């Protein structure tokens, strides 16, 4: 019998994505008719669109469900992560406007590329098949490559974009090869069907090899060691607002990709991929924290600290179970907020001809501007995991998940590396409060909106730290 044709009502779960993509195309056309002075309109409308899509998700418009023959799944996990992606991306655009405009780097395609990247992340988060995973991933990746290279006259940015493109293509090829092996072993691209057929596969070695390649692709997108080689150069070479964007929101999409591919698609093979994630977690914790100790450039230090934070996130994934996945999701959301604030601190203190991306640039900041120094203190303390900031509860949650997953050795590695990591964050605090400024004293940018956004972002780490239970409960409901 012929299946009924889908109706408009069947596409309601896609409403946030449809609104976002429609607005992105509209802004792309609008930008053609705007001159340089009017382009703030494109930027403001892009921010408003992202906030609107986030509100639609919070309000539950369109409802949850499965569409496109199971290729797109909107569930609790998808809604929570998409809300995080939309609001973090909107914050990144607020940070981007004064920075890029001052340097003559602002182009109308910046907010449009960000919106299409967010659309790719949202498709990746809701993927129900291997095809949708790859579609969302490539849409995100292609937009990211273009954003990193937005400063065409900078050799550093061009080099970073080229490295990102070449290594990203390599990782995408590994992931696609793994997917092809999984398809060959199970005869399906639907993740639920792959899980059902995994135990019946006639070629188990092919299936395990495919899963191993998929884990490698996931590790690259996260920036986990030893697949982290692109992170320091890209974070350092890209304009700081672009670094802020690619260093925060995509981590939420990468978490969803790991859950969809491994927990949904390869659940029967958990005894094989859980140890892989545990090994990647240990390696990321050790390499990220040890190498970060030697960095004098703040953006490169934050890049290697990202590797260590991915290690913490993998603690929960390796621990497994609803508790472990909820803890990892809580960590991913917490880190996205913390990363936005960390790079936001650099943007607030930088100006044309001065990037404020060295630790020495923060020396003596407290003597010049105690308020900004206090906000940076909140950011660094949260990243270091100092109570009662948000980062402390995030680390505590994933360590508890590792213990519940009988990974005592990994929890010990995490605790030791957390102590090591606290050193280089405290080094920034020490520079602000106890060192004399080197050269011209750094002062925050005279931009009231930017200062307000950074203040809310930084103080939000303390506010969420004092009231973290609702956010954790939201994550737990996603895996209930």
pLDDT in tens, 250-282: 999 999 999 999 999 998 999 999 999 999 999
At residue 353, the pLDDT reads 73
At residue 1, the pLDDT reads 39
Q: Is 233 exposed, middle or buried (0-12, 13-18, 19+ CB in 10 A)?
A: buried
Least Cα distance to 93 among 116, 81, 110 occurs for: 110
Separation CA 84–CA 88 (nearest Å): 6
Residue 22 lies in a domain: no
Give the residue with greater pLDDT, 79 vs 100: 79
Residue 469 lies in a domain: yes
Residue 466 lies in a domain: yes
Reading the block at residue 258, the tokens are 């790991």
Least Cα distance to 312 among 291, 328, 329, 292 occurs for: 328
Q: State yes or no: pLDDT of 440 exceeds 70.
A: no
Q: Is 248 exposed, middle or buried (0-12, 13-18, 19+ CB in 10 A)?
A: buried
pTM for this prediction: 0.94
Q: Do 71 and 93 contact (CB within 8 A), yes or no? A: no
Percent of the chain beyond pLDDT 70? 96
Instruction: Label residue 2 by pLDDT band (50, 70, 90).
Output: very low
Residue 383 lies in a domain: yes
Least Cα distance to 291 among 277, 280, 305 occurs for: 305
Residue 236 lies in a domain: no
Residue 438 lies in a domain: yes
Q: State yes or no: pLDDT of 5 exceeds 60.
A: no
Residue 242 lies in a domain: no
Q: State yes or no: pLDDT of 204 exceeds 90.
A: no
Residue 224 lies in a domain: no
Cis peptide leading into 263, omega within 30 of 0? Answer: no
Instruction: Return the residue matching tokens 């004064």.
Output: 98
Q: Per mean pLDDT, which range of 202-206, 241-245, 262-266, 319-323 is the poorest? A: 202-206
Total structural domains in the chain? Answer: 1
What's the domain range around 291?
270-480
Radius of gyration of the chain (CA): 22
Beta-bridge partner residues of 398: none
Task: Give one DSSP letter per residue of 70-113, joined into a string.
Answer: TTEEE-HHHHHHHHHHHHHHHHHHHHHHHHHHHTT---THHHHH
Q: Do 27 and 115 contact (CB within 8 A), yes or no? A: yes
């Amino acid at each position: 019998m012929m299946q009924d044709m889908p109706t408009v009502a069947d596409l309601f779960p896609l409403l946030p994505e449809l609104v976002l993509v429609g607005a992105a195309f509209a802004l792309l056309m609008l930008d053609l008719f705007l001159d340089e002075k009017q382009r703030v309109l494109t930027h403001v409308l892009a921010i408003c669109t992202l906030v609107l899509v986030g509100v639609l998700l919070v309000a539950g418009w369109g409802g949850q469900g499965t569409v496109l023959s199971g290729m797109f799944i909107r569930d609790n996990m998808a809604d929570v992560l998409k809300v995080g992606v939309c609001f973090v991306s909107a914050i990144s655009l607020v940070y981007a406007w004064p920075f890029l405009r001052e340097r003559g780097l602002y182009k109308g395609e910046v907010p449009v590329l960000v919106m299409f990247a967010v659309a790719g992340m949202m498709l990746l988060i809701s993927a129900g098949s291997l095809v949708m995973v790859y579609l969302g991933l490539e849409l995100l990746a292609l937009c990211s490559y273009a954003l990193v290279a937005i400063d065409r006259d900078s050799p550093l940015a061009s080099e970073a974009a080229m490295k990102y493109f070449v290594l990203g293509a390599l990782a995408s090829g590994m992931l696609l090869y793994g997917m092809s092996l999984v398809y060959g072993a199970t005869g399906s691209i639907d993740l639920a069907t792959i899980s059902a057929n995994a135990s019946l596969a006639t070629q188990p070695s092919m299936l395990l090899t495919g899963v191993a390649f998929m884990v490698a692709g996931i590790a690259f997108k996260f920036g986990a060691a030893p697949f982290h080689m692109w992170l320091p150069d890209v974070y350092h070479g890209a304009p700081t607002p672009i670094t802020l964007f690619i260093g925060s929101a995509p981590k939420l999409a990468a978490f969803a990709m790991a859950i969809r591919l491994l927990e949904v698609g390869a659940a029967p093979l958990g005894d094989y991929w859980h140890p892989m994630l545990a090994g990647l977690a240990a390696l990321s914790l050790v390499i990220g924290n040890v190498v970060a100790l030697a960095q004098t450039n703040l953006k490169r230090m934050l890049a290697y600290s990202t590797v260590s934070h991915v290690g913490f996130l993998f603690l929960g994934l390796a621990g497994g179970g609803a508790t472990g996945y909820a803890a990892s999701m809580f960590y991913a959301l917490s880190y996205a907020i913390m990363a936005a604030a960390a790079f936001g601190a650099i943007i607030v203190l930088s100006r044309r001809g001065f990037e404020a991306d060295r630790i020495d640039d923060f020396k003596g900041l407290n003597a010049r501007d105690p308020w900004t120094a206090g906000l940076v203190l909140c950011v660094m303390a949260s990243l270091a995991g100092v109570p009662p900031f948000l980062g402390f509860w995030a680390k505590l949650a994933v360590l508890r998940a590792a213990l519940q997953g009988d990974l005592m050795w990994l929890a010990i590695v995490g605790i030791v590396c957390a102590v090591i990591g606290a050193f280089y964050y405290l080094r920034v605090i020490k520079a602000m409060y106890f060192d004399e400024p080197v050269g011209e004293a750094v002062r925050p940018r005279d931009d009231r909106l930017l200062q307000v956004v950074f203040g809310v972002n930084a103080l939000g780490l303390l506010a969420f730290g004092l009231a973290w239970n609702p956010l954790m409960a939201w994550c737990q409901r996603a895996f209930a």
